[in-house]
Structures are given as C-alpha cells and as structure tokens.
Amino acid sequence: MLSTRKSLTTAAAAGAVIALLGAAPAHAEVRTGWIGGSPPIDGTVYLHTSTIDNGGVPIGSSRIYTSFGNVVNPGTMGAKARLFREGALCSATDYRFNAFLTNSQNTATTRDCGAGWYNSHGFVAVLGSNGAINEYVTFPTDPLQYPPGTAAEPSAAAFADESGANSRGQTYGGAAEINNDSELPDLVAAFGSNLQQGYVKASDLRADPSNAEQSPSIRVVPLMSREGEEIGKFEIGS
C-alpha cells in the first residue's frame, strides 16, 4: 500500500512539473522543394530548388546551381524568391544575379506576417551566350508552421483562397501555386507593409530578368483593394 501511494505521489509530482513547463516545444525545420532541372544551356545543366525555414523569422529562398559544380561567369545565374503565408504573398524579391565566378546563386527573402503556415517558391533564370533568358519556376515547398507549434490566427489569410474578378474586370486571387508569372491574376493577394490585407498588381511583380541588377534596391509598390484602389504599400526586395 505504501509503495502504491509513493508511486501515485511521484506520478502526481511529475504531472505537476509537466503542467508547469508545458508540452515539449516544437522544433524549427527547414524544408526544401523538389529539385528541378534545365536542358543544357551552353553545355551546362542547371538545377534549382526552393526552401522554407521557420527557425526564426520565416525565410523563403530560391537557389540555382550547376549540376556538376562548374563555375559560370558573373551575370549568368539569377534567382528571385517569394515567401507566402497561407497562399498570400508575404515577401518577395526581384531577380538577383551572381556577381562573381560561381557555381551557385541563392536569393532569400524574410518577413514575419503573423502566426500561420508558410511556404516558398520562386523563379530562376539563366542568361545564355546568345543573349536569351531561360526562366524556370522552383517547385513549391511543403508548408511549415510559424512560430513552430502555434495555431494560425482564425481566417487570417483566407482572402488568398478567394478568386474572381472585380467591377473593373481585374482578376484577383492567390499566387502560391502559380507556375508562371504570365498566369498570375491581375491582383495578387498580399500582406502590405503594415500587414494590411490587400493585393499587389501582377505587373509590379514581373521584373524583367534581363534588366536585373546584381545588388538591387528595395522597390515600394502600391497595395491595392480588391476593387483596384490603392490602400497601402508593399516592399519588393526585402
């Protein structure tokens, strides 16, 4: 009987400690999307992928690299990254091309758009010797929860799931699963600079890779309402 009471007391004490400390915290993760490839361009095959990291402020990145590790000239490989929260654009960059001889180019973007599920996908480009730009989409990553182990705010990004056309005939919707910038709706669901829910014009996201700088500055573009009226700002390049 004494032994039974001792066991019960020990179990109760352990339960109290667990209650005080809470459940074991969820661990941060890094997830990488499928690896895609290009046909040979000037004799080189390029591979590309996207990554999401929820270890701190969420980071989405796009990477392109040569398949056999050979280096290429400056300005040959470019990447642009896009970070999404539950389908709505959270952060984005323009193309950034390699500034030095290298076998890899990585572009990352980071931003806290509130608790929820984040994923990443972007685009990469290769400048051929004939002057042609070859562009490829990186496969979307699986989503990660941020902060790890927390619940998303109810319906915080539900607007990204809605699509249609406004009274001006402009289409609107999310872009997390879009495989080509030419397929974007006219207005892309996004979180503005103060986390205001709105839309970014697709034309403001379609920076021409042939005009990309190796160290581009931040661009500030309008955040629009569903009806196409300016309601705030969105930063590209952060």
User: What does the H/E/C string look like for the chain?
Assistant: CHHHHHHHHHHHHHHHHHHHHCCCCCCCCEEECCCEECCCECCECEEEEEEEECCCCCEEEEEEEECCCCCECCCCEEEECEEEECCEEEEECCCEECCCCECEEEEEEECCCCCEEEEECCEEEEECCCCCEEEEECCCCCCEEECCCCCCCCCCCHHHHCCEECCCCCEEECCCCCCCHHHCCCEEEEECCCCCEEEEEHHHHCCCHHHCCCCCCCEEEEEECCCCCEEEEEEECC
Q: What is the pLDDT of residues 39-70, one digit of tens each?
A: 999 999 999 999 999 999 999 999 999 999 99
Per-residue confidence (pLDDT) for residue 152, from 0 to 100 = 55
Contact of 207 with 80, CB cutoff 8 Å? yes
Contact of 46 with 126, CB cutoff 8 Å? yes
Per-residue confidence (pLDDT) for residue 10, from 0 to 100 = 41
Domain ranges of the chain: 30-236
Rounded to the nearest angstrom, the gap between the alpha carbon of residue 111 and the centroid of all alpha carbons in its chain is 9
Of the candidates 178, 175, 173, the one whose C-alpha atom is nearest the C-alpha of residue 162 is: 173
Per-residue confidence (pLDDT) for residue 209, from 0 to 100 = 76
Q: What is the pLDDT of residues 64-100, one digit of tens each?
A: 999 999 999 999 999 999 999 999 999 999 999 999 9
Mean pLDDT of 222-236: 96
Q: Which residue has the higher pLDDT, 218 or 179?
A: 218
Per-residue confidence (pLDDT) for residue 12, from 0 to 100 = 42
Per-residue confidence (pLDDT) for residue 156, from 0 to 100 = 56
Per-residue confidence (pLDDT) for residue 32, from 0 to 100 = 96
Report the alpha-carbon distance of residue 175 to residue 156 in Å, rounded: 16
Provide the pLDDT confidence category of residue 117 given band limits of 50, 70 and 90: very high
Q: What is the pLDDT of residues 5-25, one digit of tens each?
A: 333 334 444 444 334 344 444
pTM for the model: 0.84
Q: Which residue has the higher pLDDT, 191 or 217?
A: 191
Residues facing 236 on adjacent strands? 92, 219
Per-residue confidence (pLDDT) for residue 2, from 0 to 100 = 37
Per-residue confidence (pLDDT) for residue 108, from 0 to 100 = 96
Whether the per-residue pLDDT at 138 is higher than 90: the answer is yes
